[in-house]
Every structure is written in C-alpha cells, then in structure tokens.
Structure 1
Amino acid sequence: MRRTPAPVVPCRPSGRAVAVCGALVPLSSCGWAGADEGEGRGLPGAPTGVTATAGSATSVHVMWNAVSAVPDVSGYEVYRDTTRVKEVPGSEHMVDVTRLRPSTTYVFTVRARDTDGRLGPRSRAVRATTPAATAADRSVPTRPLAPRGRVVGSRAVQLSWSPSRDDRGVVSYDIYQGAAKIHSVDGAQTATVITGLRPGTRYSFTVRARDATDNLSPGSDPVRVTTAPGSDDSRGTAPTRFHATTHRDGGASYIDLAWVPPRTEGAVTEYQIELDGQAATSLVWGGTAPRDRASYSFYVGRDSGVAHRVRIRARLPDGTWGGFSAERTVRTVRTGQGES
C-alpha cells in the first residue's frame, strides 16, 4: 500500500510521470499532484492503465490494472459517464459494456471497492467511439490464421496471428482460454501478451475476429504453450535496454534512468526502483504511460563520488510484479554525468 511521506524533497521527473510515492530508505519520496485521492485514508487507489476499445457497433471492451489495497479489493465498478453500468469481482480486470449506440463516443471510468464496501476514487476517464452499424450484415469474418505463441517467462505468453478478412471490416479480436473469453484487442492489432499465468502450466488459446454487427468468426487453430517453471526470474516481463547516468544540480545529485517498458496487453503505469538492494521509490504515471521508451530522474542526496546500484521492475496489468531489469552501477559526481 502506498504511503504519503513527509517531508517532500526535490524530485525531478523526466517524461510524464506525475506521482511518486512509497519511498523507503535511503530515499525520501515525492507526493505530487496527481497521486491517488484515496492515499492516506486507507481507501483503494484509483485503477490505472484503463483502456476502452470498441468491440462492435454496440459494445466496448474496458480493461484496467489490478489495484492493491488493504483490505483487499472485492470488486470493481465500471461507469459510463456518471452511470454505473457494470460490476465485476476483484479478480477480474476487464468487462464488455453492451447495448450501446453505433457511431457514438462514450466516456468510461472505473472504481475499486474494498472488502469493507468502501469505494476508491475514479480512474482517469477514457473514451471509445463505436463504429457505424451495418444493416443486414450476415457475413462473418474469416477465422484468424497462423496463430503462434511464445512463452515469456513463467507468467506470460505472447500471441500473434494473421489478420482476418471481412466485407465490412474487422473491429476487434477476442482471445479465449479454453471456452472463456479473457481478452480483446482492436481490429488493427494482431498480437498481444497474456499475463497472470501460472508457472509450469500448459495453456490453450484461440482467437476469434468480430465485426461491427457482432458477427464472430470461427475460432483459430488452438495455440498450446507451457509456461516456464517458476524458478525463472521473469526476464520476459522485465524492462529492457535499461541505462543509468548521474548528474548534479544545485549541489544535489540525481540518478537518471531510461528503459524500454515490457510488452504487455495493457498499459504499464507503475514501476518500482531498487537502489543498493532495497526498494527505494514507486513511480506512477498519472497520464498516458510511455510504451516505447521511458525515462525518470530522482534525487539521491548531496554527497558526490558515491557509488549506487540501481535496477527497476514494472507492475504488470494483472497486478503482479514483473522481473527486474539488469542492474547498473553509477557514481555521483560534482559535474557532468557518470555512465553506467
């Protein structure tokens, strides 16, 4: 659970990070505008990584990241504008909102509810526009061909497939685990990563295409994969191309980080930075989280010539922590930068 620290000391984000909290020794943390409204009151935080994708002319698929809370999260409420339209258990982080109008833009937010029945603040609002309805369309999309699966560590699998064809266009693809729909992506997307799996477990996935009038294609050939044993270090879910440098400003030392976020089926909005073997800072993106390259700079004190070891890991959309990046060593300097 995040804590609001005191006092607040200078922190300098690079990029669009807007909330840093939960710092442990040896760092102090930042409590910036944009942090969860429920902080300090014991309420669940606002869900992060919320996305909304039109599944058809009358439905929208809403997804979000799991929320950590004490007591545990018992459920989520999904709102269309100010109207609550769906409730799901705390173990689920996606839902299809149906009975919508074609060619209409909708605004969705999500709130977490803990086991005491208390609701946390709303997530940021996301928008989705349903496509136009197609009259008397009885033509189903062709089934996705050449499905492939690649194991990404012990808890994730990357799926890909060839695009389906439809006389009016494919709006989305649904991913099934056995007979249960577990995910949905935009019709222009032909790959995704499924997380939250169990180590050393065999899975079977299929993909179906959906058009604007909710016609579903036949399922693809099944993709059967077995996740890696639990003894692995989740390298496949770790940030890559991780670099660390230092700079000095106003008599204070800062460590500058840059990395490529792990590829997941949802946005990665939270990271944990480990400094010298201890959890130091939680970094939370309050706006649109970067997918291709992320960067961040944080304060490490006023001493110069001090060596630090640093690495980073991401909280995946299913609420679990991914693997740590490679560890880098930097030394604070009086002027210039120190490359790891």
Structure 2
Amino acid sequence: MRGVPVPLCLCAALVFVGSCGRDGPDYGESGRLPAAPVGVTAAAGSATSVHVMWNAVGAGIERYEVYRGATKVEEVPGAQHMVDVTRLEPATPYVFSVRARDSEGRLGPPSREVWARTPAVTAADRSAPTRPGELRGRTAGSRAVQLSWAAATDDRDVVSYDICQGSTKIHSVGGDQTAAVVTGLRPGTRYAFTVRARDAADNLSPASDPVRLTTPGSDDGRDTAPTDFRAATRRGSDGAYYLDLAWTPPRTDGVVTEYQVHLDGTAATSLVFGGTPPRGRATYSFYLGREAGERHRVRIRARLPDGTWGGLSAQRSVTTGAGASP
C-alpha cells in the first residue's frame, strides 16, 4: 500500500515485514539469490548489547536480517550495514549471522557465524564515561574517512565507542580502540562526525566536539536525483490553486522516505512518507494560493539513506490557472 505523505515534524517509521525463522532457498521465477554478506563482525557494546556490522552485498538489496543463533532478531534497510542487538544477558557468549533479502523478496544464504561475549555488569554503575577528546579526521579517498580521538575514562571500563554522523549512530568500535574508518560516503559531500563512549552499564558519555570533513571529487547529483519529474497546477473545490507533483524516486542502496520541494529557488516544504514509501511513481500536492496567473519554478530532491541530500530534479515551471509543465 502506498504511504501517505505527512509533515516533516511527524517522523514516520519504516516497518519491514519479514518471514519468521530461516527461510529455505527461494530463487523466484528468474535470477539468483543475493550473496551471503561478508566482513561480518560482532563486538559487545555494553553488558546487554552487541554491535553487528557487515559489508554491503550490492545493489538491489531491500533489507538485511540479523540472526542470533537460529533466531532472527533484527531487520534493517538495505542502506544500513550495522545494528545493535539489545536485551541480551550480561557475561554471556552469543553467535550472530546476517542474510540479505532483495527487492523481489529472495533471501540469500547466511554469512559466516561470528561470536561475541557481553561483559559482566557492575551493580549501581550510574557514572558515564568522560567525553572523548581531540577528535580528528582525514579523508581516505572520495568515499571514506579516517577518524581518531583521545580515549575517554570511566570509573569501571569503557566498553565501546559510538561514531555518529550528524545525530545518527553509524559505527561502533571496541573500548580499546581510538580510531575508526567510515566508508560508504559520497564524493564532494560535507560530513560532520562525533564520538561518544559507552560503559558496560550502557552509560553514554557526552559527544566529542565535531570534526567536519568534505570528501574530494565531484558529485553533480544526476545519479541521486528524482527522475521523470512532472508538475501541474489545479484549482480545488475551495477555489484555491494547488501544485501537483509526480516523480520516480532515485535508485539508491536503501529506501528513500524524505523529500524536499524547492519553489522559486527556495526550500518550500518537506515531506516524509509514512508506512511503506513508494518504490515506483510517487506523488505529492500542496497549496499555492488563490491568485491566477502566478508563475512558479519547482524542483525536488531526496534525502538519501546516508543522511545527505541527493541531487535536485529537473526544474519545471507552472502557472496557476494553467495546465501541466512541459
């Protein structure tokens, strides 16, 4: 069912409905199963959580399924290659694997199994680690950055560090590490990163000062812009004019849920699709006013799964009281 746009302030959650347990092979009518994810790692994030990471399988992956033993415990969109498995027992070993499911619903084979052991929890530990200091970074090509920082301290031990891009956690490393490589970035794009320390009791430090880096290279946005963009005005039953938009979402490794509409060169409104966002043709309408003969220029862009804005669509011109733009 196609999702309904809601205002940006009403953040919509994506819910992916998957199969229960480990499915058998499903090759569909044609094509091959997704490959097994490689580069899978697991490390304790606290006494009750483990951070699982893996490499992207490739294009066309709709989601990844994470298993603890034979039980599926997490699902994430295809653009995400990490997850925190929570509600675990302290001082307990666990085994994890990952499987990829493509846009046609085919479930690939499991990755190799990886092990992690949660540390013991210390009673009445309410003291958070100190803020990690001296965060530094440098680009490593056009799609990766290297980060390093000064270790945080804790009255017990620092178990892990969370790396955040903006306000979103994108990576985690063990408490004995003070460096990380972040991959999957876009050329010619500005990013901001921070680091937070976590102890076994899940106490989280304040964020470090941010480091801002711009990946080298150029990105003209054509590969990330909505395509086949159309715009038209219509007069509603209330006598006012409305702008009707239609477009095809950009092809990305993941699901696009948020768009920004630019009207006459300025960001005019944002929308977030609730429920399951459309993978085919998407549509949206909004109020323009009551005056006929007003001319407007309109474009649209998508917020990509990595949190950055994609390229702007082709520009269309509309006039209230007239038909569709060419």
Q: What displacement does 1:198 show?
A: 1.4
Q: 2:102 aligns with which of 93, 96, 114?
A: 114
Distance in 2 (alpha carbons) for counterparts of 1:186 and 1:131: 12
Query: What's the secondary structure of 1:55's corresponding residue?
Result: strand
Q: 2:131 aligns with which of 143, 161, 180?
A: 143
Q: What displacement does 1:227 show?
A: 1.1
Q: Is the 8 A contact 2:127 2:155 kept in 1?
A: yes
Which residue of structure 2 aligns with residue 42 of structure 1?
Answer: 32
Does residue 56 (structure 1) correspond to residue 38 (structure 2)? The answer is no
**Unaligned residue ranges in structure 2 (runs of 5+):** 1-24, 220-305, 307-326
Structure 1 residue ranges, 4+ long, deviating more than 6 angstroms after superposition:
37-41
CA RMSD of aligned residues (A): 1.9
Which residue of structure 2 aligns with residue 68 of structure 1?
Answer: 58
Q: What displacement does 1:68 show?
A: 2.4
Counterpart AA for 2:178? T
Q: Is the 8 A contact 2:137 2:211 kept in 1?
A: yes
Q: 1:166 aligns with which of 154, 158, 162?
A: 154
Q: What displacement does 1:230 show?
A: 3.4
Q: Deviations over 1:187-226 (max 9, x none)?
A: 1110011111111111110000000010000000111111
Distance in 2 (alpha carbons) for counterparts of 1:145 and 1:170: 14
Which residue of structure 2 aligns with residue 81 of structure 1?
Answer: 69
Which residue of structure 2 aligns with residue 225 of structure 1?
Answer: 213
Does residue 105 (structure 1) correspond to residue 81 (structure 2)? The answer is no
Q: For this pair of structures, how many residues does the alignment match?
A: 194
Which residue of structure 2 aligns with residue 180 of structure 1?
Answer: 168
Distance in 1 (alpha carbons) for counterparts of 2:54 and 2:68: 15
Q: Is the 8 A contact 1:38 1:44 kept in 2?
A: no
Which residue of structure 2 aligns with residue 194 of structure 1?
Answer: 182
TM-score by length of 2: 0.57
Q: Is the 8 A contact 1:38 1:121 kept in 2?
A: no
Counterpart AA for 2:93? T
Counterpart AA for 1:193? V
Counterpart AA for 1:56? S
Which residue of structure 1 aligns with residue 262 of structure 2?
Answer: none
Which residue of structure 2 aligns with residue 284 of structure 1?
Answer: none
Q: What displacement does 1:38 show?
A: 9.6
Q: 1:209 aligns with which of 190, 197, 214?
A: 197
Which residue of structure 2 aligns with residue 96 of structure 1?
Answer: 84
Q: Which moved more, 1:153-162 or 1:95-104?
A: 153-162
Which residue of structure 2 aligns with residue 304 of structure 1?
Answer: none
Which residue of structure 2 aligns with residue 7 of structure 1?
Answer: none
TM-score by length of 1: 0.55
Distance in 2 (alpha carbons) for counterparts of 1:189 and 1:53: 12
Q: What displacement does 1:61 show?
A: 0.3
Q: Deviations over 1:132-176 (max 9, x none)?
A: 011110111000011101111211111000100001100000011
Query: What's the secondary structure of 1:109's corresponding residue?
Result: strand
Distance in 1 (alpha carbons) for counterparts of 2:31 and 2:97: 21
